[in-house]
Amino acid sequence: MKSLRELFFRYFLTLIAILVLAVSVLFYFQYKTLFQFFVGESIDSAKSIAINLEATVLFESLEDFQDLTRNLNFYTMEVVKGDRVFARNGFYNYSFFKDINENYYYKNGKISIRTPILSQGSTIGTLYVTYEDKKLKKLIYDQCISLSIFGIVFFVLLLLLRRHLIVAILKPISTLSNSFKEIIVKNDLSIRIQDDQKIRETKILVESFNSLLLFLEVNAQKLDSLNKNLENKVREKTISLEDALTNLKEAQSSIVAQEKLASLGGLTAGIAHEIKNPLNLIIGSSTLIKDILVPDLSKKLEKGKSEEVDYESMMKKFTDVSELITINGRRIDSIIKSMLLLARSGDASFVQADLGEHIERALDLAYHSFKARQNFVNVNIDKEIPRGFTLMCLPQDIERAFINILDNIFFALNVKHNGKGTTASLKISLREVDNDYVIRLEDNGIGMSEETLQKVFEPFYTTKDPGQGTGLGMSIVNDIVTAHKGKLNVTSTLDVGTTIEIHFKKVSE
């Protein structure tokens, strides 16, 4: 950004350039005018001499030629009669006109003129006369002096005008600028500028500036008073908001805990069914050992004294029953561990876990919980869940997220296909794509409208009937995925189905 002083200097240089250009143009046209005047005067002088030489040429009197030309001011003169030079004074000149159609030419500071010598209307000879341009130079010199004097006077006037403008305009503005800086440095709005301006515009500017300072000072005082009151009010509101935030966090924690309990409660029937079957097998196996295998073994041992006992067959039966008890015991242990993992508090730490194992476990729990309900529809599950995809995560939160997702999927499948004679299907896959683990779940349930899809992650938003959901399921899923620095994408078409895709980074950041 340029200062006013720089702008004045630029405009000053521009005016000087215009002045030089104007003087140059004026000198050019003046020179042309003076040159034409010089040419015209030389031609008239030559014609006058030609008239006086009429008798001299007729009688070919060299003496008369010398008398006539003795006092004339010229450089050279020749009189040509026919093809010969009748008389001359100086060097030969007429030969230069052989290739020139004009009656004059200017060269090397001299002008040569050709004019006919007439007698009674007939040409009796030709006069060639050359003049030096001393007179022209004198005129040009005088003109240069005049233009130079004019230019110097104009330049001096410009300098005086520039100085006057700087004093009259720049000085008051500089004073204003310095006052601004002083106010900013001292942070003092009580400073005023001395009103001693001689130019009306700058005087108005100073008065306006002082009025503005007064206005700002008054308003600053009012603002300071308001700020003090505002600080007290903000302090009170802050305390109130902190209390409200604390209550909100407590309520939120309570709601999340209730949602966790609701989720666990929804799994209870399925878990009871899952535990009941292995327990029945364990009880049946122990009964088989107690009531059949042990008595049978005792009888054979008593007979063994007289008969050969097939110990190998007996041991195989005991081994098979023991293995059945072990398998179902481990099944019960796995289910209990999953329930404990889901019920664990939120103070767990991140660990390396097999993502596929926890997805499989969540699917198992959610599906058996779904099957335990009345009027459930069979779901054709196409799963591709490989092992070995380790992720730094909170395992209980990962399982909880997928249980919430699967619970919504099975609900949507049941609403659409139960009693309709159609096939409910779910595709779930875990793949490694570039630097991500991608979990994709596709169902052909009832789908979602555009409005529902936009609100699917909003807390407490639900399309289920009262008592069937809190509206926190997908909100919690989104929070869990975000906490693991993942991405959750949901696409859905009403009455067609829903696709959920979750991306987790392989390497923890």
Which tens digit of pLDDT belongs to each residue from 411-465?
899 989 988 889 999 999 999 998 899 999 999 999 999 988 888 888 766 777 6
d(CA 168, CA 160): 12
* Cβ neighbours of 6 (radius 10 Å): 10
Question: Which has the minimum average pLDDT: 170-174, 198-202, 255-259, 298-302?
Answer: 255-259
Q: Percent of the chain beyond pLDDT 90?
A: 16
- Among residues 158, 177, 203, which one ends one of the domains? 158
- Among residues 129, 158, 187, which one ends one of the domains? 158
Closest by alpha carbon to 319, among 274, 277, 288? 288
Q: Which residue has the tokens 């005088």?
A: 142
CA 273 to chain centre: 59
- Among residues 106, 132, 158, which one ends one of the domains? 158
Does residue 246 surpass a pLDDT of 50? Answer: yes
Close Cβ partners of 175 (under 8 Å, ≥ 6 residues apart): 193
For residue 123, list its beta bridge partners. 118
Q: Please report whether residue 492 resides in a domain.
A: yes
d(CA 141, CA 241): 94
Structure tokens at 272: 């009871």
Q: Please report whether residue 33 resides in a domain.
A: yes
At 384 the pLDDT is: 94
Q: Please report whether residue 135 resides in a domain.
A: yes
What is the residue-averaged pLDDT of the chain? Answer: 78
Domain containing 378 — which CATH number?
Answer: 3.30.565.10
pLDDT digits (tens, 9 = 90+) for 457-502: 887 667 776 555 556 678 888 888 998 999 999 999 999 999 999 9
Q: Please report whether residue 369 resides in a domain.
A: yes
Q: Which residue has the higher pLDDT, 142 or 97?
A: 142
At 496 the pLDDT is: 93
Three-state secondary structure call for residue 419: coil
Q: Please report whether residue 184 resides in a domain.
A: no
Q: Please report whether residue 487 resides in a domain.
A: yes
Q: Percent of the chain beyond pLDDT 70?
A: 71
Structure tokens at 129: 């006369």
At 95 the pLDDT is: 65
Q: Which residue has the tokens 């040409």?
A: 123
Domain containing 56 — which CATH number?
Answer: 3.30.450
Closest by alpha carbon to 264, among 441, 396, 428, 374? 396
Total-model pTM: 0.43
Q: Which residue has the higher pLDDT, 191 or 31?
A: 31
* Range of the structural domain that residue 452 is part of: 348-509
Structure tokens at 466: 């009262």
- With 0-12 / 13-18 / 19 or more C-beta atoms within 10 angstroms meaning exposed / middle / buried, residue 395 is buried
Q: Please report whether residue 234 resides in a domain.
A: no
For residue 441, list its beta bridge partners. 428, 500
pLDDT digits (tens, 9 = 90+) for 329-366: 766 666 666 555 555 545 567 899 999 999 998 898 88
pLDDT digits (tens, 9 = 90+) for 158-203: 788 777 777 767 777 777 777 777 777 877 777 776 666 666 766 7
β-pairing verdict for 424-433 and 390-393: unpaired
Sign of the torsion angle spanned by Cα atoms 365, 366, 368, 373: positive
- For the chain, the residue count is 509
| Stretch 12-34: mean pLDDT | 81
Q: Please report whether residue 310 resides in a domain.
A: no
Please count the structural domains in the chain. 2
- C-beta of residue 335 within 8 angstroms of C-beta of residue 275: yes
* Cβ neighbours of 356 (radius 10 Å): 20
